[in-house]
Structure 1
Amino acid sequence: MSGRDPGSFDAALTRALQEDGRASVNELARRLGTSRDAVSQRIRVLAETGRMRVAAALDPRFVGHRVLVHAKVAVAGPVAPVARRIAELPEAVFVSLVSGELPLVFESRHGDDDELHAMLARVRGIPGVRGIRVTTYAEVLAGFFVAKQLADIALDEVDHELIALLQRDGRTSFRRLADAVHLAPSSTRARVQRMLDAEVFRISAMTSGGLTGHRIALGVGIAAAGDTEPIRRYILDCPAIDFAAQAHGAHDFIATVVGSASATVLGVLEELRALPEVGSLDTWAHYDVVKEAYPRAFAPGAGPVAG
């Protein structure tokens, strides 16, 4: 890493691990043009300081989560204490302090509407919360934890145990995984690869509060003024859109646009505004990601859910 800006190196390393969380240190070193020791050291530092973790993220349908929502929260007084309280709720998978009139957003996952309403009641009871604006995801279009096609795959208790281990540390060696589940390393590798091929989960790097000068993230709420299909096609084709969902409620689509420079993010907004089918855009800048954690246990009898 000698002679390179540490921030840009960390950003490149994170991107590589977002693409393949189990890439070997040798592969990462070749890709980044640096030494094996430099890569190992930075992965260790980023993990120990909590700035990055590599973990398995399950497609929510495999764990019985049928209701996924995005919520914006009106807060009276300081926002950070409210964000920390929401982050303590296990249903919340993403919590961020943002710009705008509603300075806090969170995403949560639930088995049914009753579970959602129970969580919203708990959030409303947090001191400082003055209101919640909820948008329900009808279909997640882009996101590293979402399978392109839900596979028909049967998982047993050993598979569930392997997933739990990889949710804690996605780079755990096959030998350690094998020792934990009492299988041969070759059998363990085959089981993990089978689940990866079926897109039950994806192993990827996740950053905590990692919105630096090298990574800008902007939330976008889109209201359609006509046929939604052109908006959908644009979202699916845009490489700068890190996450997106078609929704109902406050917005017809919600997306997260990321880039290493403001010009990249602004360019996506201008292209969206140019679509005749876009009625209006609501945007919010992410200032501090308080929580981004997708590991959740399997619900009893949970498995692939169509839709």
Structure 2
Amino acid sequence: MTVTIKDIAQLANVSIATVSRVLNNSKPVRPELRERVLKIVQETGFQPNAIARSLVSKETRIIGVMVPDISNNFYSNLIYGIDSVISEYDYSMFLAISDEVVDKELKYLRLFKEKQIDGVIIASIHFLEGNIQTLQEIQVPLVVTGHDLPGYQIPTVNVNNVQASYDATAYLISQGHTKIACISGPLWDPPCGLDRMGGYRKAMRAHDLPIHEGFVVEGEFTAKSGYEAMRRICEEKIRPTAVFVATDLMAVGVLNYLYDHGIRVPEDISVMGFDNLELASLSRPMLTTVHNDPFMYGKAAAEQLLRQIRNEPVERMSTVPHHLVIRQTVSALLK
């Protein structure tokens, strides 16, 4: 005969709610009651049923996580950061991969609601109006990483993309470069697109340097788009001496283009990336870049989400630190 949580409560002479609190370690229980319940559980060999447990406790102990691309190690490291926190509190992860397809994003958001999961962490979603409406409709604790959402009370975790890009461009300027190109992320992604381009423009203006608009190109999140963007820049009548690239993946494409066309890095053109992915240290020459730690994104997002679940105060905006990693693709401009 299968032992139920109701049987445990009767044998221990406590309420079902008390048994649930002991099993889930969700709320304080007097030591003598906890010991009594655990003794009965051990004696009966009781195995909690996850569905039944969730009906009693109103918790599934599952966190929904949606990322656009699991093959990008930025997102895989972000997931590790989330897991490092939630596993300590006996939560499991429901992972959804959207492939940057809006219909899939909306489908997964609705699925999160249907499964009645305890909270949701979302990385790099296409924030169309329909997504915002669906986010508000799911009515569960929620944290978004990689985006700011002004006007909405949704907690976010992000690097200061404008300041980080400013710092990267200012470093190139400190090395004597004045003809600096910028390959931004896609403009539909404000942090990698508008914000990182904005940091570049802010640094150029602050140092009274002209911006040649032919040097400013929108890319995508691929090495191929970096290759193509660098081709367009090199077709200009004048050539930059340095280029700030908004992602390391695109920067690898830039390095490949320059290598294929006999343009030396950093002797002819210096290259600055962003993210400090593993491949930044594997490229040759090794890529100088902005360290943007996805593991810390994940940890911060998970901590913020668990605070919400426990009805504790949370920050509307959390910022993870950044710093420059100086390697081999940037050199001082010889005068």
TM-score normalized by the length of structure 2: 0.25
TM-score normalized by the length of structure 1: 0.27
| Higher relative contact order (Cα pairs below 8 Å, separated by 6+ residues) | 1
Report which of the two has the higher share of helix. 2
Structure with bigger gyration radius = 2
